């Protein structure tokens, strides 16, 4: 990259990320009877998939095409892996509990009466629901309907949200 492209690249990245977060904030949760599902928008899913595939192809390319750059392949591979880990996992709210599937196949589930606190972190726009044994479910900025999620959690637990600046 030349020196003249850093600022435009940063502005484009900032615009895309804030646009995706704004679209997610304004999207509606999926209702299945008394169950609410908070996932991510289609655009967020597509962008994560495209970036993950792109960085994976880039990792293979810099490793295979001469001259080979193993360090570049490792960096691109870690970025691609980060895209998979950063993908917002759907959160399910039922009348009895809040639940989230984990990437490794496990399930984090907290009954509403066991929720000890609800924290909202203003900077990254995340909501943290904490249960027994420090179980945590995180509603990130790329999950849909963040305000409705917080109001649903407050309605079901009757707890006040602790707001923090990060």
User: Measuring CA to CA, which residue among 143, 118, 128, 161 is closest to residue 25?
Assistant: 143
Is a pLDDT exceeding 70 seen at residue 2?
no
Q: What is the pLDDT of residue 125?
A: 86
Q: Is the pLDDT of residue 29 over 80?
A: yes
Average pLDDT (40-64) is 90
Spell out the domains of the chain, with CATH numbers in brackets: 29-40+88-166 (2.30.29.30)
* pLDDT tier, 21 (very low <50, low <70, confident <90, very high otherwise): confident
pTM summary value: 0.79
Query: What pLDDT sits at residue 24?
Result: 82
Q: Which residues of 108-118 are buried (b: 16+ CB within 10 A; e: fewer)?
A: bbbebeebeeb
pLDDT at residue number 123: 82
Cα separation, 65 vs 144, in Å, equals 41
Using N-to-C axis directions, what is the helix angle for 146-157 and 6-26, rounded to 10°?
Answer: 40
- Contact predicate 18/62, CB 8 Å: no
pLDDT tens across 99-135, in order? 998 777 788 999 999 999 999 998 888 999 999 999 9
Confidence of residue 63 (pLDDT cuts 50, 70, 90): very high
CB 134 within 8 A of CB 115: no
The three-class DSSP label of residue 140 is: coil
Contact 75, 69 (CB under 8 A): no
Share the mean pLDDT of the chain: 88
What integer pLDDT is reported at residue 1 of this predicted model? 54
């Amino acid at each position: 990259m030349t020196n003249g492209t850093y600022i435009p690249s940063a502005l484009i990245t900032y615009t895309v990320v804030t646009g995706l977060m704004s679209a997610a904030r304004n999207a509606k949760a999926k209702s299945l009877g008394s169950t609410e599902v908070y996932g991510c928008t289609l655009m967020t899913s597509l962008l994560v998939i495209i970036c993950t595939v792109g960085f994976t192809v880039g990792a293979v390319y810099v490793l295979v095409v001469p001259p080979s750059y193993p360090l570049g392949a490792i960096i691109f591979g870690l970025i691609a892996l980060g895209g998979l880990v950063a993908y917002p996992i759907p959160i399910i709210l039922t009348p009895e509990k809040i639940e989230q599937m984990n990437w490794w196949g496990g399930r984090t589930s907290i009954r509403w009466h066991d929720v000890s606190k609800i924290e909202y972190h203003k900077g990254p726009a995340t909501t943290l629901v904490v249960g027994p044994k420090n179980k945590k479910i995180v509603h990130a900025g790329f999950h849909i309907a963040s305000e409705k999620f917080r109001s649903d959690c407050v309605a079901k637990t009757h707890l006040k949200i602790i707001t923090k600046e990060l």
